[in-house]
Amino acid sequence: MPVRPTVLNALTGVNVADADAAVANVLSPKTFYAVAAPKKTGTMPTVALAPASNAYPAGYHAGAASLTAVEPDLVAAKIQTGQTIFGVAGTLSPGTLAEDVEGDTLSVALTNTSTGAFYRSRTYLAAGAEADIVAKTLLFNATSLAFAVAFAGAMGENADADNLVLRLYMDGVLMQTSAELPIINNTDTLVVRDFKALSGNKVCKLAVYSGGGAEGSYFFFGGSDTSKWAAAIAVGSVKLV
């Protein structure tokens, strides 16, 4: 059996027969010599992490002083307390309901009158008119996401009553409109709710709007006894970072 000759490096005389590097193992564009000629050039790419990508590419990674140099958002203030990500311990407190969660209620409506067998706290609304029912003013911290929910147990009267709706306003912006109120002898409790980013002293309110024909309509609280139907608004907020 023929004996395989010993392969020696031409310059140093070192045996390189056991060299096993391939071009994919060597950084581009570095060159090297292997057992078989000619000189070869590495193809391993130089790669780096990118803050806008979730990829972890294969190759030679160009190092940085720290991962925060790659991703500036990797800081304690943006990591929840009790969590550590790549050696950075979080200091961010979880979002909690602010202490400014408050409510306001209305037990007697706008104008108190009594007609027939019904106790009616009522007001007349011409077509296109609006009347505030209940409101709450609060001081919101900067970067607050406010939540308001309001309701009214009520009904309307006459042919145009089916055009009465409840409206929720937050800082003067109409956020949500309810379904139409039922006509007399048919009662309902309608609820409106929504979110809005608020900061500073802001008003959240519940109003009733008449979008009906020329006749307009009465809007009232009350029933066949002296009980009153409530209207209320509750406002709270979540403090955002």
Residue 168 lies in a domain: yes
Q: Domain range for residue 215?
A: 102-239
Task: Please report whether residue 188 resides in a domain.
Answer: yes
pTM of the model: 0.52
Asked if the structure places residue 142 within a domain, the reply is: yes
Which amino acid makes up residue 9?
A: N
Domain membership of residue 196 (yes or no) is yes
Dmax of the chain from CA atoms? 124
What CATH number is given to the structural domain containing 160? 2.60.120
The one-character DSSP state at 23 is G
What residue ranges of the chain have pLDDT lower than 70?
1-14, 94-123, 157-162, 184-187, 212-230, 240-241
Q: Which two tokens stand for residue 207?
A: 């109003």
| β-pair partners for 191 | 151
- Residue 174 has what pLDDT? 97
10 domain residue, yes or no: no
For the chain, the domain total comes to 1
- Which residues partner with 147 through β-bridges? 195, 236
Q: Which residues face 195 on adjacent strands?
A: 147
Give CA–CA dist 240/149, Å, rounded.
Answer: 20
Predicted local confidence at residue 10, as pLDDT: 56
Q: Measured in whole angstroms, how far is the alpha carbon of residue 41 from the centre of its chain? A: 52
Give residues with Cβ within 8 angstroms of 49, minimum separation 6: 56, 61, 67, 70, 71
Residue 97 is assigned to a structural domain of this protein: no
Closest to 144 (Cα-Cα) out of 204, 189, 190? 204
* Any domain includes 54: no
Q: Which of 131, 104, 102 is nearest to 237 (CA)?
A: 102
Whether residue 48 lies inside any domain: the answer is no
